[in-house]
Amino acid sequence: MAKKSMIAKNEQRKVIVARYAEKRAALKKALVDPNSTDEQREEARLGLQKLPRNASPVRVRGRDAIDGRPRGFLSEFGISRVRFRDMAHRGELPGITKSSW
């Protein structure tokens, strides 16, 4: 079980990322747009720098949905590898079977 404070901090980051996603996408688009001038690119770069650090999606950590385990996270299922293995053995994941050949 992860610390409650770390889980809460990660949830807060998700909220901040969602809040600034549209603005961040517009600024990044202005940076790579071939038709934008150097001044527009400079403004976009400064605008990105003024956004909060936690507005970057890279800072959000993938965590197990049940207990918050940060390592071994399988994003397709939203759970950790340990929980995935247990649930697969108990047959709680539809369509998942142990491979044998």
Co-location of 11 and 26 in the same domain: yes
pTM of the model: 0.82
pLDDT in tens, 56-94: 999 999 999 999 999 999 999 999 999 999 999 999 999
Same domain assignment for residues 4 and 40: yes
Is residue 30 located within the same domain as residue 78?
Answer: no
Indicate the number of domains in the chain. 2
Residues 55 and 17 in one domain: yes
Instruction: List the CATH number of the domain containing 90.
Output: 4.10.830.10
pLDDT, one tens digit per residue, over 3-60 is: 999 999 999 999 999 999 999 999 999 999 999 999 999 999 999 999 999 999 999 9
- Full residue range of the structural domain in which residue 69 is found: 62-101
Tokens, residue 89: 């053995």
* 22 and 35 fall within a common domain: yes
The answer to whether 68 and 6 are in contact (CB under 8 A) is yes
Give residue 98's pLDDT band: very low, low, confident or very high (50, 70, 90).
confident
How far is the C-alpha of 96 from the C-alpha of 61, rounded, in Å? 25
Is residue 50 located within the same domain as residue 99? no
Convert the pLDDT of each residue in 50-64 to its tens digit. 999 999 999 999 999
Which three-class secondary structure state does DSSP give residue 34? coil
The 10 Å Cβ neighbour count of residue 84 is 20
